Amino acid sequence: MSETHEFDLAVIGAGPGGYVCALKAAQRGLKVLCVDRRETPGGTCLNVGCIPSKALLHSSERLHEAETEFSALGIDNVTPKLNLGQMMARKERVVGDTVKGIGYLFRKNNVTFRVGEAKLTGPHDLSINGERVTAKSIVIATGSAPVALPGVDFDEKRVVSSTGALSLEAVPKRLAVIGAGVIGLELGSVWKRLGSEVTIIEYGDHIAPGFDRGLGRQFQRSLEKLGLKFRLSTRVTKVEIEGSALDLTLQKVGQEETETLEADVVLVSIGRKPYTQGLDLGAVGIDTDEVGRIPVDPHFRTSCPSIYAIGDVIAGPMLAHKAEEEGLALAEQLAGHVGHVPYDAIPSVIYTQPEFAMVGKTEEQLKQEGVAYKTGSFPFMASARARAIAATDGGVKVLTDAKTDRILGVHILGACAGELIAEATLAMTFKASAEDIALACHAHPTLSEALKEAALGAFDQPLHL
């Protein structure tokens, strides 16, 4: 006779992976508990990440548009003024409404939500604030935490992670951003539009690591037009407090000489690490790898057969939507259905202006792998819609298999790139060819026509270039 447990499934973590897994499992008829140390569900993404940053990006972009572009559009007598308190209050309302929505979904689907610190005490046992809970299956979806610069702790006032950078009480005169990845570029552009002098320091020789290098150079020029300053191939060896200023010691890669950069606030955005503190993984025989990730099999099962892991705590890109897809797939599997994650078709987006989006392989990866490929490109400068809305920066690049025309990667730099990449992601999910996209009717005039034209270029030639 099988042992009876309080829950069919206990999910530790209510971020995008955890709450989605809990909801889908409940919809499939399982009795589900979801526990999180935050009082509000949604994890880092909804509370102090994706959602608040997009709210500030939108507000700052509208302010910058009013300051710099309205006159050219024929709109005169506009004198915008920043109200930072009101902008932050709107951001908090957006976050509040979003996390309330998850609470409503939990109640609607009969998911039990508990606030507390969860510790693994056995293959089917949890301790939540000292209280024992049992479940047939347990999912670890505890997400990730910011990586600090060695020897420099976050105080979230002057040395900040993304969390602190979303809630600064005043616009810093000088903001130094360490790391030219998604977080650094997005939040650096926010505070630049609001009045900061922003310098971004990157150890690598290019910004937006992992994205297309060719479009990346255009991307950097667009951000430089905004006023962002870049120090590439440079590392920060020390951050010292000197009175009211922070002194950063900079060193070019491969050189011994150093120099000093002064800032009022330093944003450290050099990456994130899996968050598994307090879980007591060792109590159930689960080890982590060299960077703190939990190894899992293709069905997300850990070395303890009744315990699973998804999202930022396992291998793969630390993306909210990747965690969501894993949560969905795992919930289906636990309910006796089929679940699958198309890892070769997971998009990534940098939500600056212009946006930078990608799905699939880059040219650099294809060259390294020795894959014969073809390229089709189309600039937004040649798009009628892009000219009409004054958004001609960037373009679309489509990469295809040289023999089969199957799409291997799509890269978009420009307005609404994060929305446009969805068509390419769908195409790649269903193993489409460039010809499939090119032969599909696209509304005119739209930005999506640039994807059609780039696809045409990959197997034939563009019409409007």
Active site residues: 444
Does residue 86 sit in helix, strand or coil? helix
| Sign of CA pseudo-dihedral 143, 147, 152, 158 | negative
E-only strand ranges, 210-366: 229-231, 234-242, 245-252, 258-263, 265-268, 272-274, 307-309, 348-350, 355-360
CA distance 391 to 401: 30
Which pair of tokens denotes residue 368?
Answer: 């390294």
C-alpha 312/C-alpha 142 separation (Å) is 8
Distance CA 330, CA 282 (A): 23
- Asked if 421 and 359 touch (Cβ cutoff 8 Å), the reply is yes
- Residue in the block written with tokens 């998804």: 310
Q: Tell which residue, 142, 178, 151, has the closest CA to residue 273.
A: 142
| DSSP secondary structure letter of residue 279 | S
DSSP string, 337-368: S-----GGG--EEE-SSSEEEEEE--HHHHHH
Give the H/E segment covering residue 114.
strand 112-115
Identify the three-state secondary structure at position 18: helix
CA-CA distance, 50 to 52, in Å (whole number)? Answer: 6
The residue among 84, 73, 33 whose CA lies nearest residue 194 is 84
Angle 144-145-146 (CA atoms, 0-180°, nearest 5)? Answer: 135
Question: Which single residue is written with the structure tokens 């920043």?
Answer: 82
Task: Label the pairing between strands 245-252 and 234-242.
Answer: antiparallel
d(CA 291, CA 280): 17
Q: Do residues 91 and 83 touch, judged by C-beta distance below 8 A?
A: no
Torsion angle of C-alpha atoms 272, 213, 458, 371, degrees rounded to 10: -80
Sequence-distant (≥ 6) Cβ neighbours of residue 298 within 8 angstroms:
none
